[in-house]
């Protein structure tokens, strides 16, 4: 009863609390304000008053940033790498999860524990042999090599799919099997559509992970023609450290696509975590 | 498998059973195959190779005259000052990062779970720093923490009459600066994990407690906190493993410096392997690193499992 009363008429303190939280929010977001606002200033103006709003809309930083990077090329590379890797991760991960969850015998159980070991292996501890493996496969310094590398981490998707599948009733599949459908058909036509909520969650987190990854492109994609967006920032820092307004413009350009993705997917992202799907 | 209904003639039966079994199991095994192959070739075999190479004397760009070198690489890794410093830094960071994030994320989750008209906006804003690449955030903060005039952090403290703090140039301060940026970027994400758990707590508990006259603080410490334990376990596991593997952030913020104050294990492994080309030494360090991550991850997993039952 008490709670209901509170709902209808908010006490004054709750307004103060909300205002306080909004202030914290603003403080929290200041680094991004600082980043964006200084890209529209001349170097002098930015140094003198880094927090002030720009007096005029100065766009030369962006012009120079675009000149210093190969934006379209990097964007295309990043999109190809991300889309291909995430698609393959979802296909491989969901298929393996289905077999492991629905067909429990010694072989699939062994596979499950075998995939489990992957959680304990940090990427950085296998990079030296990975270099040799990629060389043997003639995939070094190629975006296809990178895609194959990301796809090899489909065991994480497998675990999430497996958890979700254990809550999906088998009746539908059994009916399809009795009607003479093969395992392959049953999986793709009946089961996979049912997995949509977890597929969306996995897709979002893998897109954010692969799009933002620095280590793999840094180590395995050294050619400047094949760089990704994050690599553009890294290269920019090496080339024009002192021209910091231009550096910040480069960062903003690189951040725009993923921020658009976040805004478009924001509901799913926060719903995905708060529903408890991503528990690690 | 004796329960299998046998309809075929006795001499053929053993073979038929096997064939039928394979026919039944094969489609499932084929579904596992793609993940199995990529994982084996690009994760498991490299791990085995790392282990093999760590016992060899391979220190050139081409593999030739490989000899068994025993544990020499391991001995030299442990006597390498850079390695032991990096180990200390990594362990310090791996302990402090989960602790700081958790201490801030739980109150934040509590606030973001209360009834406010702007609640969804606030959640989205606090989550936002997890969206950009951490490398870019590192570079951004290297400007914010800069001692130059555009370093707004010192300017901000200057407003309160505080002296300029050498965020990135003092060896003592630098690792705390890395921690500050990392906590800032992760706290919203982990607050969301706690919100998930809080939404599962029945409001009956709080109603009963307030009827019994429990204060808000008592309700938090006696009801909310104990019931958040599963979320604490999974959130800290995520934080711990990602903190042990941290590479981009110190690399962008401080380049591991000043000196070796923020050099982490991953940086040492990559430097030794890819820049100094001492593969034998680097692979030994990799195995030590991997063993530490596995051991800590295993302990955490065991603790988590106990709590969640």
Determine the Cα–Cα distance for residues B265 and B92; give it in Å rounded to an integer. Answer: 12
Residue B235 belongs to a domain:
yes
**How far apart, in Å, do the first and last CA atoms of chain B sit?**
33
Write out chain A residues lying below 8 Å of B270, CB-based: 124, 127, 219
Q: What is the mean pLDDT of residues B185-207?
A: 88
Nearest residue, CB atoms, A129 vs list B27, B46, B155: B46
If you average pLDDT over each of A171-185, B146-160, B280-294, which comes out highest? B280-294
Q: Residue A197 and residue A111: Cα distance in Å, rounded? A: 25
Tell me: cis bond preceding B258? Omega within 30 of 0 counts. yes
Residues A58, A64, A67, A69: is their CA dihedral positive or negative? negative
Look at residue B199 and tell me if it is in a domain. yes
**Half-sphere exposure of residue A46: CA atoms within 13 angstroms, side-chain side:** 26
Residues B299 and B185 placed together within one structural domain of the fold: yes
Q: How far is CA A146 from CA A38, B175, B222, in A?
A: 34, 32, 49
Q: Is residue B58 part of a domain?
A: no
- Asked whether residue B130 falls in the same domain as residue B222, the answer is yes
Which of A28-32, A66-70, A267-271, B83-87 is predicted with the least confidence, judged by mean pLDDT? Answer: A267-271
At B193 the three-state DSSP class reads helix
Long-range contacts from A116-121, C-beta under 8 angstroms, 24+ separation: A116/A155, A117/B44, A118/A153, A118/A155, A118/A156, A118/B39, A118/B43, A118/B44, A119/A155, A119/A156, A119/B297, A120/B290, A120/B293, A120/B294, A120/B297, A120/B298, A121/B43, A121/B47, A121/B290, A121/B293, A121/B294
Q: What is the pLDDT of residue B10?
A: 53
Residues B204 and B133 in one domain: yes
Q: Using CB atoms, which residue from B30, B42, B140 is nearest to A133? A: B42
Q: Are B118 and A18 in contact (CB under 8 A)?
A: yes
B290 & B215 share domain? yes
pLDDT at A196 over 50: yes
pLDDT of residue A2: 45
pLDDT grade for A83, boundaries at 50, 70 and 90? very high
* pLDDT value of position B193: 87
Q: Examine the domain organization and report whether B12 and B115 are in the same domain.
A: no
State the residue range of the domain holding B28.
1-33
Q: Quick one: B10 and B110 in the same domain? A: no
- A31:B128 CB<8 A: no
- Selection from A192, A193, A191 nearest residue A170 by Cα: A191
CA angle B293, B298, B304 (to 5 degrees): 125
Contacts of B300 in chain A (CB under 8 A): none
* Closest residue by Cα to residue B36 from A109, A202, A155: A155
* Alpha carbon distance, N-terminus to C-terminus of chain A: 38
Q: Taking 60 as the threshold, does the pLDDT of residue A114 lie above it? A: yes
Predicted confidence at residue A117, as pLDDT, reads 85
Question: Cβ contacts (< 8 Å) between A253 and chain B: which residues?
Answer: none
Q: How far, rounded to the nearest angstrom, does the alpha carbon of residue B26 sit from its chain's CA centroid? A: 36
Whether chain B has a CB inside 8 Å of the CB on A178: the answer is: no
Residue B46 lies in a domain: no
Partner-chain residue, chosen from A126, A158, A259, that has the shortest CB–CB distance to B131:
A259
Distance CA A276, CA A256 (A): 28
CA count, 13 A, side-chain hemisphere, A239: 15
Please check whether residue B293 lies inside any domain of the structure.
yes
pLDDT for residue B76: 83
**Number of structural domains, chain B?**
2
Q: Which residue of A has its CA nearest to B297?
A: A120
Q: In three state form, how does the secondary structure of chain A look?
A: CHHHHHHHCCCHHHHHHHHHHHHHHHHHHHHHHHHHHHCCCCHHHHHHCCCCCCCCCCCHHHHHHHHHCCHHHHHHHHHHHHHHHHHHHHHHHHHHHHHHHHCCCHHHHHHHHHHHHHHHCCHHHCHHHHHHHHHHCCCCCCHHHHHHHHHCCHHHHHHHHHHHHCCCCCHHHHHHHHCCCCHHHHHHHHHHHHCHHHHHHHHHHHHHHHHHCCHHHHHHCCCHHHCCHHHHHHHHHHHCCCCHHHHHHHHHHHHHHHHHHHHHHHHHHHHHHHCCCCCC
Question: Which stretch of A30-44, B2-16, B151-165 has the lowest confidence by average pLDDT?
Answer: B2-16
B273 and A127 within 8 Å at the Cβ level: the answer is: yes
Q: In this structure, what CATH number is given to the domain that contains residue B185?
A: 1.10.3720.10
Show the beta-strand stretches assigned E in B159-234. Answer: none
Sign of the CA dihedral with B182 first, then B185, B188, and B193 last: negative
Nearest residue, CB atoms, B118 vs list A18, A98, A105 = A18
In a domain, B277, yes or no: yes
Same domain, B152 and B295: yes
Residues B147 and B201 in one domain: yes
Residue B222 and residue B296 in one domain? yes
C-alpha distances in angstroms, B28 versus A87, A108, B41? 20, 9, 21
A60/chain B closest Cα distance in angstroms: 19
Q: Are B152 and B167 in contact (CB under 8 A)?
A: no
Residue B296 resides in a domain: yes
Asked if B245 has any chain A CB less than 8 Å from its own CB, the reply is: yes
**Rounded distance, CA A84 to CA B237, Å?**
29
- The arithmetic mean of pLDDT across residues A28-40, rounded, is 91
The answer to whether residue B65 is domain-embedded is: no
Q: B269, B282 in Cβ contact below 8 A?
A: yes
**Chain-wide mean pLDDT for chain B?**
85
CB B284 within 8 A of CB B54: yes
* Domain identity same for B5 and B92: no
The Cα–Cα gap between B71 and B55 comes to 6
Facing B27 at nearest CB: one of A91, A92, A182: A182
Per-range mean pLDDT, top range of A32-41, A133-142, B99-108: B99-108
- Whether A25 has a pLDDT exceeding 90, the answer reads yes
Residues B1 and B91 placed together within one structural domain of the fold:
no
CB of A256 within 8 Å of a chain B CB? The answer is no
With CB atoms and an 8 Å threshold, state whether B122 touches A22: yes
Asked whether residue B270 falls in the same domain as residue B134, the answer is yes
- Give all domains of chain A, ordered by start, each with its CATH number: 65-94+126-159+195-274 (1.10.3720.10)
């Amino acid at each position: 009863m008490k709670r209901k009363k509170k709902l209808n008429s908010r006490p004054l303190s709750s307004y103060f609390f909300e205002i306080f939280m909004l202030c914290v929010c603003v403080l929290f977001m200041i680094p991004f304000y600082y980043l964006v606002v200084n890209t529209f200033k001349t170097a002098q103006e930015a140094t003198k008053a880094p927090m002030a709003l720009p007096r005029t809309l100065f766009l030369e930083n962006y012009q120079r940033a675009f000149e210093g990077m190969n934006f379209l090329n990097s964007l295309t590379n990043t999109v190809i790498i991300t889309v291909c890797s995430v698609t393959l991760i979802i296909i491989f991960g969901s298929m393996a999860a289905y077999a492991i969850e629905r067909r429990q015998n010694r072989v699939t159980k062994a596979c499950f524990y075998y995939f489990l070991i992957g959680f304990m292996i940090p990427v950085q501890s296998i990079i030296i042999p990975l270099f040799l493996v990629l060389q043997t496969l003639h995939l070094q310094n190629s975006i296809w090599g990178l895609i194959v590398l990301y796809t090899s981490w489909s065991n994480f998707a497998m675990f999430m799919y497996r958890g979700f599948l254990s809550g999906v009733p088998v009746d539908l599949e059994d009916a399809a099997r009795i009607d003479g459908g093969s395992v392959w058909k049953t999986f793709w036509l009946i089961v996979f559509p049912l997995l949509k909520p977890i597929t969306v969650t996995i897709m979002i987190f893998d897109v954010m992970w692969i799009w933002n990854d620095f280590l793999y492109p840094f180590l395995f994609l050294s050619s400047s023609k094949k760089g990704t967006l994050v690599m553009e920032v890294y290269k920019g820092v090496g080339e024009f450290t002192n021209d910091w307004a231009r550096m910040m413009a480069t960062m903003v350009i690189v951040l725009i696509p993923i921020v658009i993705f976040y805004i478009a997917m924001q509901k799913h992202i926060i719903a995905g975590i708060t529903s408890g799907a991503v528990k690690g | 498998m004796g329960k299998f209904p046998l309809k075929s003639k006795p001499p053929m039966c053993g073979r038929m059973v096997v064939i039928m079994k394979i026919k039944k199991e094969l489609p499932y095994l084929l579904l596992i195959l793609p993940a199995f192959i990529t994982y084996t070739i690009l994760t498991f075999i490299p791990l085995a190779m790392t282990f093999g190479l760590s016992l060899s004397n391979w220190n050139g760009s081409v593999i030739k005259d490989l000899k068994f070198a025993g544990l020499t690489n391991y001995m030299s890794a442990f006597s390498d000052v850079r390695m032991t410093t990096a180990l200390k830094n990594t362990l310090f960071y791996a302990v402090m990062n989960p602790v700081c994030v958790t201490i801030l994320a739980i109150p934040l989750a509590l606030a973001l779970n209360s009834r406010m008209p702007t609640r969804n906006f606030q959640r989205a804003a606090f989550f936002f720093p997890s969206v950009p690449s951490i490398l870019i955030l590192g570079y951004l903060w290297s400007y914010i923490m800069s001692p130059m005039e555009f370093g707004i952090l010192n300017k901000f403290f200057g407003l309160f009459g505080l002296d300029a703090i050498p965020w990135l140039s003092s060896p003592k301060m630098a690792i705390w600066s890395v921690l500050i940026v990392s906590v800032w970027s992760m706290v919203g994400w982990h607050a969301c994990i706690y919100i998930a758990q809080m939404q599962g707590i029945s409001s009956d508990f709080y109603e009963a407690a307030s009827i019994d006259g429990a204060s808000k603080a008592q309700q938090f410490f006696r009801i909310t906190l104990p019931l958040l334990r599963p979320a604490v376990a999974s959130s800290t596991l995520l934080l711990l493993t990602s903190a042990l593997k941290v590479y981009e952030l110190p690399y962008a913020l401080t380049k591991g410096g000043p000196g070796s104050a923020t050099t982490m294990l991953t940086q040492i492994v990559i430097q030794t392997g890819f820049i100094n080309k001492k593969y034998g030494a680097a692979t030994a360090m990799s195995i030590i690193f991997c063993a530490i991550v596995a051991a800590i991850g295993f302990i955490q997993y065991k603790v988590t499992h106990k709590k969640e039952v």
